[in-house]
Amino acid sequence: MVWWPLRTSSTIFLLRLVVHLWMRTGLMGLPTITARFSRLNRPLTAGVVQLGVTVSRSSGIVDYYSAGTSAVEVPVQDSGALWSAIENLLKDEGRRQELGREAREEMVKRFSRPVFNRRLFEALLRIFT
C-alpha cells in the first residue's frame, strides 16, 4: 500500500518548489500547537538554508531554535502575534538575514555530523564504561 499519493519525481518537485518559495521570501512561519516529528525538522531545514523563522513555542520544538536569536517566537494560538511577527520580518530584510545567519550557525554547532558523532561516542562511553 502506498501511503504517499505522489510519485517520487512529483514529491521532489514539490519539495523543490517549497524550498524555492521559502528562499524567495527569506522567511518561514511555523505555527504549532503540538510538536510532531514532521514539524520538528522545519526549524532545522530553515536553519540549514539560512531562513528567518517565526515559530510558536510548543513542546519538543523549543530544542531546535533560540528565541530572539535564530527565530522569532510567538505565543501558541495567537494569530495576531504570528501575523505581526511575519509582517515585521517581511519589512526588515536585515533582521531576516540576521536570523537566517544565526540559525545556520546554531544548526552547525548543535546538529552537524561531527557534533552528532562526538555526542554519540560520549554517550556510548558512559553506557559501556
Tell me phi and psi for residue 33, to 5 degrees.
-105, -50
pLDDT at 3: 42
Q: Give the three cell numbers for residue 27.
A: 522567511
Task: Say how many domains are in the chain.
Answer: 1
pLDDT at 50: 82
pTM metric for this prediction: 0.66
For each of the chain's 129 residues, which pLDDT tens digit applies?
Answer: 344 444 555 666 666 666 666 666 666 666 555 555 455 567 777 777 787 778 877 767 777 788 888 888 888 888 888 889 888 988 998 998 899 899 889 888 888 899 999 999 999 999 998
Domain hosting 83: range is 26-128
Query: Would residue 1 count as lying in a domain?
Result: no
Grid-cell match 537566517, residue found: 100
pLDDT at 51: 79
Sign of CA dihedral 98, 37, 60, 82: positive
Query: Would residue 103 count as lying in a domain?
Result: yes
31-54 tens-digit pLDDT: 555 555 455 567 777 777 787 778
Exposure b/e, 60-91, CB count within 10 A at least 16 = b: ebeebbeeeebbbbbeeeeeebbeebbeebee
CATH number at residue 101: 3.40.50.2000
